[in-house]
Each structure stands twice: as C-alpha cells, then as structure tokens.
C-alpha cells in the first residue's frame, strides 16, 4: 500500500486491514519522488494515496478497498 503520513484515507485503509488481521506492506511516498513515480506507474497514472495492491493486482484507493471488503473479497487473505 502506497501512503503518506497524514492521509486520512490511508489511515482508514490500514485500520480496515488491521481489524481483519490482514498484513500489509506500507510504502510511504511522501519524501521519495522515485517511490511516488513507481506508484503512479503501477496505478495506471493515479496520483492519490492510498494506492493499494493485492498480490500485484491494483485494487485502487480506500473506497475500492472498502467495497471489496464489503463484498467479502478480503476473506481469503492471511
């Protein structure tokens, strides 16, 4: 998950995953332009955070993660 320190949607995404016991890797793009460029490239041009990937598949941001969770799409994750 690509994040920044003060992003409220990033905080919500991390909370959702923690509450469900799902581990994640956080990549803070706040101060590293190369990481932000990587995020934009992987996310098909999306520049906002969070940008969330599951097994290299782009989920989107928090809203998309929440919708996936509500449909039961996170149930298979460790």
Residue 78 in domain: no
Residue 76 in domain: no
Residue 21 in domain: yes
Residue 47 in domain: yes
CATH number of the domain at 61, please.
3.40.30.10
Domain interval for residue 25 = 2-70
Cα–Cα distance measured from residue 1 to residue 56, given in angstroms and rounded to the nearest whole number: 10
Residue 64 in domain: yes
Question: So what's the pLDDT on residue 16?
Answer: 97
Residue 34 in domain: yes
pTM value is: 0.93
Candidates 70, 15, 74, 71; CA nearest to 3 is 15
Over residues 1-56, the pLDDT tens digits come to: 999 999 999 999 999 999 999 999 999 999 999 999 999 999 999 999 999 999 99
């Amino acid at each position: 998950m690509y994040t920044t320190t003060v992003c409220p949607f990033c905080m919500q995404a991390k909370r959702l995953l923690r509450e469900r016991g799902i581990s994640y890797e956080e990549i803070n793009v706040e101060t590293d332009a190369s990481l932000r460029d990587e995020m934009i490239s992987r996310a098909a041009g999306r520049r906002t955070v969070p940008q969330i990937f599951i097994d290299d598949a782009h989920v989107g941001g928090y809203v998309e993660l929440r919708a996936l969770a509500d449909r039961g799409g996170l149930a298979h994750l460790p």
